[in-house]
C-alpha cells in the first residue's frame, strides 16, 4: 500500500517499483489523500480556462489513466487539497483542507483501508513530507498513526478487524547521490545536464544519504513510470524537467528506486534490494 498526498504522487515516487511488483503478481493499492483540487497547472499546454474550471474532475480522470497504466487499485481518502502556501509569512490554511483536519479524523479512513486491504508493506513520506507541502507533511503524520494503530483492537473501533502491516518505508526518490549520478552520465555522453545548476547549490548531506536502506532494481519499468507520469497531463510537461534526461541515462546511471526502512516486524538484513525482504 502506497499512501500519497495528491494524484500524480503515485507516478512520481516509486512508480517503477510499483510496476515491477505488479508484474510479479503483487497486489498493489494506492491511497490518495486529496483530490489535488488546489494544485497548480504545471503543463503550459493544459493551462487553459476550461481546464482550470474543471480541475478536480480532470485530475480524477488523470488518476484513473495512471492507475490503469500501473496496474494498481486505488482509493481516495476524500480530503480537500490544502494548496501550497506562498508568501512571508505564508497565508493560513484554507478551512476544511486536509492539512487543517484533525490528525485522528484524517487517519480514520486510512485505518479502515489498511484493515480491509491488509497490506504487508506500507510506504509513505518522511517527516518533512519529501518536500514541505502541508499535505505531504500531513500524509506522513496520518500514515504513521494509521500504521501504528491498525493492528490494535482497542483503537479506531468500527473500522474493521485489526491488521498489522509488517514493514513501513519512506520514499527517497530525489536525493543528491542519484542526481549527481544522472548528471555525471549526461556529461560523460556529451549531453547538456539539466542538473548542473541545482547540484552547484545543493550541499552534500551524508546524514540524509545514510537514511536510504533499500534500493529496488526496477530500470526495466522506468518506461511504465514515464507513461504513468504523462497521464497526469495537468502536472507533467512532456517537454519539461521530468524528461530532460533520456530514459537510457536513467537506466544506466541509477537503475533503482530508493527507500528508507522505518519499521519492520520481520527480521531484516541491511542493505535491502526488496521491499518484501524478510516476508517472502
Q: pLDDT digit string (tens) for 65-85?
A: 999 999 999 999 999 999 999
pLDDT digits (tens, 9 = 90+) for 33-58: 999 999 999 999 999 999 999 999 99
In the chain, what are the domain boundaries? 2-174+212-247+254-264
| pLDDT above 90: residue 239 | yes
Residues 15, 229 contacting (CB under 8 angstroms): yes
Q: Cα torsion for 9, 15, 21, 23, to the nearest 10°?
A: 120
Instruction: Please say if the pLDDT value at position 113 is more than 90.
Output: yes
The answer to whether 247 touches 221, Cβ cutoff 8 Å, is no
Tell me the residue ranges of DSSP E strands in 114-197: 121-124, 167-171
Mean pLDDT confidence for 147-166: 97
Out of 3.40.50.20, 3.40.50.10240, 1.20.120.520, 3.40.50.10320, select the CATH number for domain 2-174+212-247+254-264.
3.40.50.10320
Prediction pTM value = 0.96
Cis peptide, bond prior to residue 89, ω within 30 of zero:
yes
Per-residue pLDDT for 111 more than 90? yes
In this predicted structure, what is the pLDDT of residue 16? 98
Instruction: Give residue 205's pLDDT.
Output: 86
**Average pLDDT for the chain:** 96
pLDDT at 88 over 90: no
For residue 208, the model assigns a pLDDT of 85
Residues 6 or more apart whose CB falls under 8 angstroms from that of 54 comprise none
What pLDDT is attached to residue 258? 98
The DSSP secondary-structure symbol of 162 reads: -
Confidence of residue 233 (pLDDT cuts 50, 70, 90): very high
Predicted pLDDT at 209 = 84
Amino acid at each position: 500500500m502506497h499512501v500519497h498526498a495528491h494524484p500524480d504522487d503515485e507516478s512520481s515516487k516509486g512508480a517503477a517499483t510499483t510496476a515491477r511488483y505488479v508484474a510479479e503478481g503483487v497486489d498493489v493499492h494506492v491511497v490518495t489523500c486529496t483530490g489535488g483540487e488546489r494544485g497548480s497547472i504545471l503543463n503550459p499546454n493544459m493551462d487553459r480556462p476550461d481546464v482550470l474550471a474543471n480541475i478536480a474532475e480532470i485530475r480524477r480522470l488523470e488518476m484513473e489513466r495512471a492507475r490503469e497504466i500501473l496496474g494498481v487499485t486505488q482509493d481516495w481518502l476524500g480530503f480537500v487539497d490544502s494548496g501550497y502556501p506562498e508568501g512571508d509569512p505564508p497565508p493560513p490554511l484554507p478551512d476544511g483542507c486536509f492539512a487543517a483536519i484533525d490528525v485522528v479524523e484524517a487517519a480514520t479512513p486510512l485505518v479502515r483501508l489498511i484493515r480491509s486491504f491488509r497490506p504487508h508493506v506500507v510506504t509513505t513520506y518522511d517527516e518533512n513530507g519529501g518536500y514541505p507541502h502541508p499535505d505531504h507533511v500531513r500524509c506522513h503524520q496520518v500514515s504513521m498513526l494509521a500504521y501504528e494503530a491498525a493492528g490494535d483492537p482497542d483503537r479506531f473501533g468500527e473500522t474493521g478487524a485489526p491488521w498489522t502491516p509488517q514493514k513501513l518505508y519512506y520514499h527517497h526518490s530525489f536525493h543528491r547521490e542519484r542526481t549527481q549520478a544522472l548528471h555525471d552520465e549526461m556529461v560523460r555522453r556529451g549531453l547538456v545536464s539539466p542538473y548542473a545548476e541545482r547540484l552547484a547549490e545543493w550541499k552534500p548531506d551524508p546524514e540524509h544519504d545514510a537514511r536510504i536502506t533499500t534500493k529496488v532494481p526496477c530500470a526495466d519499468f522506468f518506461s511504465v513510470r514515464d507513461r504513468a507520469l504523462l497521464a497526469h497531463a495537468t502536472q507533467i510537461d512532456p517537454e519539461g524537467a521530468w524528461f530532460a534526461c533520456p530514459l537510457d541515462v536513467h537506466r544506466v546511471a541509477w537503475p533503482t528506486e530508493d527507500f528508507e526502512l522505518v519499521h519492520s516486524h520481520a527480521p531484516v538484513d541491511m542493505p535491502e534490494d526488496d521491499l518484501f525482504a524478510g516476508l517472502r
